[in-house]
Amino acid sequence: MNKLRIGICGWGNVATGLFNTIENNNKLINSNGNLDIEIVVIGARRDNPKCDPGATKIERDIFDVINHDIDVLIELIGGVDVARELILKAIKNKKHVVTANKAVLFHHGDEIFKEASSNGVQVLFESSVCAGTPIIKMLTEELSANKVTKISGMLNGTSNFILSNMEEGSDFRSTLELAQKEGYAEPDPTFDIEGMDAAHKIGILSSLAFGTCLPPKDFYIEGISNIEKIDFKYAKDMGFTIKHLAVSKLNKDKVELRAHPVFIKEDSYLANLKSVRNGIEIETDLLGTLHIAGSGAGQESTASGVISDLVNLANSNNNISVVDSNRNIELVDFLSLSFQYYFYIEALDASIAIDSITSTFAEKNIGIELVEQKEALKGDSLPIVVITDLFAEREHEDLYENLINLDSVNKIRSIRIESN
């Protein structure tokens, strides 16, 4: 049986969940994974009343964990700068690293992987994307004979929970408060609702599938905070729903990389993944389109991913090669892409507004598939919905400014419509 001596850095919910899983499931890990895991030391700046580490050695300075006789450092402290320093120091001391930290990989992945390669050690990170759902292993091992052409999905459970509830009629603010109450959203939810969490994850997956650099440059990111529940009603009327979609897609010899809200067909696979679930769609040449879904967060699912990495490391004879740090594929200029758009426009006088709106689109040579006045809202505002033909993203900002500056218009927002 293989054996790994590990040091855990961090002592929050994820780290204590890993500790308890190893302690409680050690016999199962022995039999299923041919692995005996010994927790040698824990780096914890403070105690956690939710978990008793027993006789396990505690270091208050997390960097002192590296000085112990361990094979693997488990980085679960989160954040970027200190985590980067800790990981690089462990690597230079010939320790393998397992991390669940997507942010540090997104911002410093290329540097970390190059250093690991130079020192003959491995950095594994199954839990960094979709917690324990085995998307990393799928891309790096199971699909090794396939050419992946596109990865898309909902990669943030908080955003999917909020949008799923808004689809049922709740408003954004009350749903966000519910997500915080249920523990699905942080007290400061900016990282989730403004799209950064999903962006970090798709950036990592894009690096694995296509060789884009970490951090990627010229990457379009938009959150969900401007979406309103009325948008779901109008989307449903046209056979759509709204999701926050992260996309990495081969586009000739470059890669299209983006994360933003979209209208997607309500009968599609991704449209039907609700609540906090993450879901990913992978397009390949040999196997066609694959779907993978699961819990995107939580102690148990993250612990599952970390232990999977340890089993993989222990049974690999240290020959895992997860990331080719020498590849650097260019990204497509987002402004060169074309989308159909949904525009929601509130006007004081619908007849005047519709004439002004259609003239504005005509001046930009942008076709309109549908323009429709909706039932009046409370107050004097009259909603107008416009669905455009495809047009270049670089035209969107000027169009938006021209529309909002019309005398008859007092509110506007837009959402891209995702094509297949």
Residue 8 CA to residue 171 CA, distance in Å, equals 41
Is the bond preceding 383 in cis, omega lying within 30 degrees of 0?
A: no
Residue type at position 58: I
Give the burial class of 20: count Cβ atoms within 10 A of its Cβ; 0-12 exposed, 13-18 middle, 19 or more buried.
Answer: middle
Cα-only R_g, the chain: 24
Bridge partners (DSSP) of residue 153 are 246, 280
Q: Which residue has the tokens 């980085």?
A: 75
DSSP letter, residue 225: T
Task: Work out the angle at residue 357's Cα, subtended by the Cα atoms of residues 356 and 358, and round it to the nearest 5 degrees.
Answer: 95
Residue 345 backbone phi and psi in degrees, to 5:
-130, 130
Give the burial class of 362: count Cβ atoms within 10 A of its Cβ; 0-12 exposed, 13-18 middle, 19 or more buried.
Answer: exposed
Q: Are 18 and 306 in contact (CB under 8 A)?
A: yes
Residue 280 CA to residue 128 CA, distance in Å, equals 15
Cα dihedral sign, 204-162-249-343:
negative
Task: Give the three-class secondary structure for 79.
Answer: coil
Determine how many CB atoms are found less than 10 A away from the CB of residue 176.
Answer: 23
Residue type at position 264: I
Q: Which residues contact 378 (CB under 8 A, 6 or more apart)?
A: none
Residue type at position 226: N
Q: Say whether 201 is catalytic.
A: yes
DSSP string, 146-211: S-EEEEEEE--HHHHHHHHHHHTT--HHHHHHHHHHTTSS-SS-HHHHTSHHHHHHHHHHHHHHH-
Task: Give the three-class secondary structure for 6.
Answer: strand
One of 150, 201, 243, 249 is an active-site residue; which one?
201
Q: Which residues are catalytic?
A: 201
